[in-house]
Every structure is written in C-alpha cells, then in structure tokens.
Structure 1
Amino acid sequence: MPLAVLLSWLLNSHTPSAILYSAITTPVVTLWLRHAMQSVNGLHKWPAEQWIGAGTILLSVVILCSPLLYFLTPGIVGAIALLIWILLCVYGAFAATRIHNKNLSITSAKLNRQYRFVQLSDLHAGSRSNKFIRKAVEQAKSHQPEAVFITGDLLDSSSVDQHTLQPLAEFECPVYMCIGNHERYVDLPAAIRSIEHNRVEVLRDSSQYFESLNIIGIDDADDRQQVAKQLPIISTDSTHYQILLYHKPDGWIHACDHGIDLMLAGHTHGGQIWPFGYLVKLRFKEFLGHYQRDNCHLYVSPGTGTWGPTLRLGTRCEMTILDLAPAA
C-alpha cells in the first residue's frame, strides 16, 4: 500500500517494517472498502469513496517521489510526499466543485436559424448532493438554452428520489435524456419515474422532434455495436439536422454513416483522476472533446459531476454550451 510506504519514509523505518505493515493493513482495508462500497448507507460509502480517490493520488505521489531517495533522506522525502499529497487532495476536492463552461460552435447547411443548447453529463446524483445538482441547473439556466441534453448517468444510487432531482423541474425549456450505465445498475423503472416526474423526457431507443431538429436517444449497453444496431430501427431523417444522445463514445462512425449530424456522449470522465485517463484511452478511441468527420460531429464531455470520490485531478467538471448556426 502506498500509505505504508509513506509511513516508512516518515519514520525512517526499514523496508521490512513497511512490508509487514502493508501485509497487516491491506486485507483489513480491502475488506472495509468492499463492505462500504456495497452499502446503501451513504455514511458508510462516502468515506470509502474518498479514500479510493485519495489513495490513488497517493500512489502517484509515492511513485513520482521515489527517485528523490537517491538524493535525500527518507524522512525528508516522506515530508515532501505528504505535503504534495495533501495539496493535491485539497486541489482535487476544489476542482470537483467547480463546473466549467465549454463553448462549442457548429454550423450546418441543414439549419435555418441559430440554436443554443446545453449538454449535462454524468451528474451522478447519489455520489453528488442535491445541492450540487441545483448548482448545475442554475448555471445551465444562466446560458438561456432552448433545450438541455443529459447524456446519461444522471444518478447512480437507488436512494435517489424525486426530491433529489427536483432542481431539474426548474428548467424553463425541454430537457431530453438518454440513460447511462449507472441508470441500468439501479432500479431502472423507479429511476425513470423519478426523472420523468421532474419534467425530463427520457428517450429510450426513440426520437423526438424539437422544431425541425430530430433528437434521438439510445439506451446505454455493454455491446459496442449498440448504436449500429439501434439506429436503423429508430425513426430518423437525414434531411433534418439530427442530434444523437448516447452515453458512451461508441458507434460514432456508424452514427455518421446513418446521417447523424451531432453525437453527444460522456461516460469517460476524462479519466477523472490522473493518470486513469491513459487507461480509459485504451478503451475509447474518441476519448474526450470534439471530433469531426466531414459534416458529422462528436462531443465527448468529461462529465458535469464525479463518480465515487469527489475529486478531480488533471480533469475538470464541465457543461457544454452548444451554439448551432446555419452555414454561411
């Protein structure tokens, strides 16, 4: 465990002592984390989630500080590592509370006027509080969107109810959503009832016109061919501007081939805590940000909230302000 290494540095103890400490504490901590993460009690789960995040940061700090042992005593290296760890955790906690605005402008010959939309993704009500959900809604409302798109993982706990999601009902515009993997992991029918109670239209392998724009939502699935399989059986019309909401950044090429103009996704969190982004990139080719193929666009949000630990390091919470306009 990185904590055992850090303590051995701080105490100037020998390597065998660190190994013995690790051998004793690792099974205990592992059992506690397993029990806490399976608990529906937030008071049990929250500390475990934060420790997972802080422990991940500590692991990186220990690895990066290890070369200093060639030049400094273990005690000094331990003090440096401890200070860096604390500062990074404080920064990460702050970064997880701030929602950045990402502006994205796209033009198309299919559009006959300008539109402004806001994309929210991975809010993770349950991991995040009602207060955070309200903050995201108020910030989104300040951009005066004509519609809001939620690209999955709105919630991640069966304890989330209508009250937790109540801020969503305060939008003065249509709100469209596709379900993400975390909606599938809970009581999905109950989750959808709570979501729809707050005036959110959940598009489940279906489409809905917003003026002349066709908004399509596809349910998240583990199958990487989900988009390719579902689009042919959903009502689409390539003569209209078409926006696809799908939680994972899978199937974008199939979406382009099927006449989709803009695909919105999330799920990756940008890795959330460095250096996890490098691992996520191995799974998702279109990992984060804006991609374009001819007139077909994809935007992968790093997420508006966080999952598990309320920490961000090397990434940021974000909402996307989409400005669509006719091509000149």
Structure 2
Amino acid sequence: MRTILRFAGFMSVFFFGFLAVNYCIFYGIASLFNIQHGLIFYTLFILAVISYPLSAMIERVVSNSFTRVFYTAASAWMGISFYLLTFIAIYWIISLFFNIPGEIAGVTIILLTFILSSYSLVNSLFLVVNHIEIPLKHLKSDLKVVQLSDIHIGSIRNSSYMEKIVKKTNELQPEIVFITGDMVDGSARLHTNTFRAINKLKAPVFFITGNHETYEGLDEVFRVLRNTDMRILRDEMYECNGIQIIGVEYSYERDHMENVISKLKIDSETPSIMLYHLPRELKTVANAGIGLQLSGHTHAGQMFPFNYLVRLMFRYMHGIYTYNGTYLYVSPGTGTWGPPMRLGSRCEITVINLKGEN
C-alpha cells in the first residue's frame, strides 16, 4: 500500500508539473508570435497536457500498433517540451538585458528544439558497449562480467530490443550477467514471450528488482519471468564462479540494506558483489566487507538538463566510485524511461573486467 501511495503521489506531482511546463510553453510561444488565445490554442494546450497520461491509460487497456505510436509520440513530447521550456527560459533571461524581436526568438527556439530533439531521439537508438576495469578483493583470477540495468521493456522497447541486448551480450562472452533492476517499464501489459530472449544468454544471469517492478506489481513480474533461465535474488546470497553474489530487493527504506546484510552469512575472505538498484548505501556495503556494488536507477540523468537535478538527489549518479576499498559502479541504463531520448548519456551494456589479486 505504501508503494502504491508513493507512486500515486509521484504521478500527481508529475502531472501538475507537466501541466505547469506546458502552460509556460504555450503562453510563451503565443506571446512571441502574438497568437490569440482562442479555441484552437486551448484545445492544443489541453491535448498536450493530457497526451501522456491518456496514452498511458489506453496502452494499459488496449495495446496495438496505433496505441504504441500514440504512446511513443506522447512520451517524446515530454522531452521536447522540456527543451522548449529551457530555451524559452533562456530567452526570458536574455531579454532582461537585450531587446530581441519576438518572432526571431520564437523561430530560433523552435529550430534549436528541433535539432536537439532529433539528436536525442536518434542517440537513444544506439546501444553502446562500455569496458571498465575494477579490482575485486580476494578474487584469485580475472573475471569478465556484464551489467545490464534499467532496460525498461514496455511499449517503446519490446521483445526485439531484448533480443538485440542478448545478441550483443553473448558476443562479449561474459562469465556472468547481472541485471540490476527495472527490467520492465510498466507502460504495457506484460507477456511471457517478451522475455524469452533471456534464455539465449550463454552465461548465468542474476536479477534484482527495481522501482518499476514494484510499480508493476512483483507477483505479475515474477509470473512472466518464471520461465526464464535467470536467478532472481530477493534479499539473499548465491555463490557463482567462486563469488558471493548478494541481491537486495528495491526499497526506499534507509535501513533496508543494513537489515538484509545483517541476516546473511557473508564470508569476508571470499570475493563478493552486491546488486542493489539504488546507487546508495556504499558505506554500509563497505562495512560488510563486500568488494563491489552494482547499481542503476539514475540513467545518468538521461537528458540534459535533468542530469543536474538527478545529481542533487543522488550523490553517486554515474560511473565508478570507491569507499574504503569497496567499489560502486552506477550504470547509465540499457534503455530509457519516459521520453525515448538521450542527451549527454547513452544506452549502455557495461563490460566489467574484474581484476584478481596477484
């Protein structure tokens, strides 16, 4: 119930925030081009505001090619609208010092938004492979693993994207594959065949839940993942290739990680890896003697200027961090949430070359 209320609160804040964004955009553009606030103006404004929640509701009830196109377009509008708002805000600031004709400013804003939006949409289609190297305490010999995170399979990215990820991952020949949450997006009803590609992975696969699995409902998520060759770790530990793999379920409770660790018999002399969706609790992980934590959730901000907002919420936003000899890698995500757009980040498959002690 608490998760549902938190999600409902998030969606309420999101809707009213999106309403405010569209209000600023429509009234800003209208003032630049001297457009009258008539029936057409208010109709377009209302459609823009309700496009995403409406398309999301329709997609959950009746999913087909048309509804998916509508949902994708509405999701893209979210990203486009924030670019428009950013440029309008910049214009308002500049206009305090310089007199710029409204129509020239309006055309410039629309042109810049079109360029950035087009680039962001195309950029999100590419799936890059990032190779990093991290030493792991007590590891006897080198080990190659792959981290996938925040794939967000749903209306925009579906089974074909899962197939693409699996194919690329197999080409990398990892010894273990970790999926650190948000496998599902929550935008479309789940089907077992959507995730069948996971069974083609040639290495052992370990999965932990993220916030979107809880939004979708864990029972429903586990139902569709039941027939996949993937071990789901729910606040438990499993040994593979001589490594203790600890998987902690998604939780916003501050003491959740510590409570889980206190119940596990972790051998401090055996190499260990913590899988946790949220990029936090590094100190707790280090104090438990765990050598590496793998997390996601932040998407590295996904799109400028959100990276600055995300950085305010999460100290560990993207990349490698260390505390008392324990490492944390925060993935930028293998998919996207909301707008199918990326600016200043890429969809990533992370190859982690774990270095053993010589």
- The question of whether the paired residues in 2 share the 8 Å contact of 1:227 and 1:250 is answered with no
CA distance in 2, matches of 1:210, 1:133: 24
1:32: Cα distance to partner?
4.0
Question: What corresponds to 1:49 in structure 2?
Answer: 75
1:48: Cα distance to partner?
2.2
Deviations 1:253-289 (A, max 9, x none): 1011011110000001111121112221222111211
- The question of whether the paired residues in 2 share the 8 Å contact of 1:161 and 1:191 is answered with no
Question: What corresponds to 2:4 in structure 1?
Answer: none
Q: Greater CA deviation, 265-274 or 27-36?
A: 27-36
Deviations 1:48-85 (A, max 9, x none): 22211211122112223445653542222222211111
**Count of aligned pairs between the two proteins:** 324
CA distance in 1, matches of 2:51, 2:45: 10
- The question of whether the paired residues in 1 share the 8 Å contact of 2:282 and 2:323 is answered with no
- The question of whether the paired residues in 1 share the 8 Å contact of 2:206 and 2:231 is answered with yes
Equivalent position amino acid for 1:152 in 2: G
- The question of whether the paired residues in 1 share the 8 Å contact of 2:136 and 2:355 is answered with yes
1:199–1:35 distance in 2 versus 1, CA, 3 Å = same
Q: Secondary structure at the match of 2:192?
A: coil
- The question of whether the paired residues in 1 share the 8 Å contact of 2:175 and 2:203 is answered with yes
**Selected match of 1:29 from 31, 48, 60:** 48
- The question of whether the paired residues in 1 share the 8 Å contact of 2:141 and 2:357 is answered with no
What do you get for the CA RMSD once the two structures are aligned? Answer: 2.2
1:122–1:109 distance in 2 versus 1, CA, 3 Å = closer
Equivalent position amino acid for 2:84 in 1: L
1:22–1:105 distance in 2 versus 1, CA, 3 Å = same
Deviations 1:229-268 (A, max 9, x none): 2111123211111101000112111011011110000001
- The question of whether the paired residues in 2 share the 8 Å contact of 1:5 and 1:18 is answered with no
- The question of whether the paired residues in 2 share the 8 Å contact of 1:6 and 1:82 is answered with no
Equivalent position amino acid for 2:240 in 1: F
1:139–1:262 distance in 2 versus 1, CA, 3 Å = same
2:118 maps to 1:77: no
> After the TM superposition, which residues 88-103 of structure 1 pair with which residues of structure 2 at under 5 Å, given as runs?
88-103=116-131
1:256–1:193 distance in 2 versus 1, CA, 3 Å = same
Q: Secondary structure at the match of 1:327?
A: coil
1:253–1:38 distance in 2 versus 1, CA, 3 Å = farther
- The question of whether the paired residues in 2 share the 8 Å contact of 1:196 and 1:202 is answered with no
Q: Greater CA deviation, 281-290 or 43-52?
A: 43-52
TM-score, structure 2 as length reference: 0.84
CA distance in 2, matches of 1:33, 1:298: 35
Question: What corresponds to 2:160 in structure 1?
Answer: 131
CA distance in 1, matches of 2:74, 2:255: 34
- Determine what percentage of the aligned residue pairs are the same residue: 30
1:223–1:38 distance in 2 versus 1, CA, 3 Å = farther
TM-score, structure 1 as length reference: 0.91
- The question of whether the paired residues in 2 share the 8 Å contact of 1:4 and 1:22 is answered with no
Deviations 1:94-136 (A, max 9, x none): 1111122222212245111110000000000004122222212
2:29 maps to 1:6: yes
CA distance in 2, matches of 1:278, 1:28: 29
**Selected match of 2:309 from 245, 255, 279:** 279
Q: Greater CA deviation, 46-55 or 110-119?
A: 46-55
- Pick the structure with more helix per residue: 2
2:130 maps to 1:111: no
1:226–1:21 distance in 2 versus 1, CA, 3 Å = farther
CA distance in 2, matches of 1:200, 1:139: 18
Equivalent position amino acid for 2:153 in 1: A
- The question of whether the paired residues in 1 share the 8 Å contact of 2:143 and 2:354 is answered with yes
2:85 maps to 1:59: yes
Question: What corresponds to 1:222 in structure 2?
Answer: 252
> After the TM superposition, which residues 1-328 of structure 1 pair with which residues of structure 2 at under 5 Å, given as runs?
1-9=24-32, 11=33, 13=34, 17=36, 26-39=45-58, 40=60, 41-42=62-63, 43=67, 44-66=70-92, 69=95, 70-126=98-154, 127-157=156-186, 159-328=189-358
- The question of whether the paired residues in 2 share the 8 Å contact of 1:301 and 1:318 is answered with yes
Segments of 5+ residues of structure 1 without an aligned counterpart are: none
- The question of whether the paired residues in 2 share the 8 Å contact of 1:216 and 1:242 is answered with yes
1:24–1:109 distance in 2 versus 1, CA, 3 Å = closer
Segments of 5+ residues of structure 2 without an aligned counterpart are: 1-23
CA distance in 2, matches of 1:203, 1:48: 35
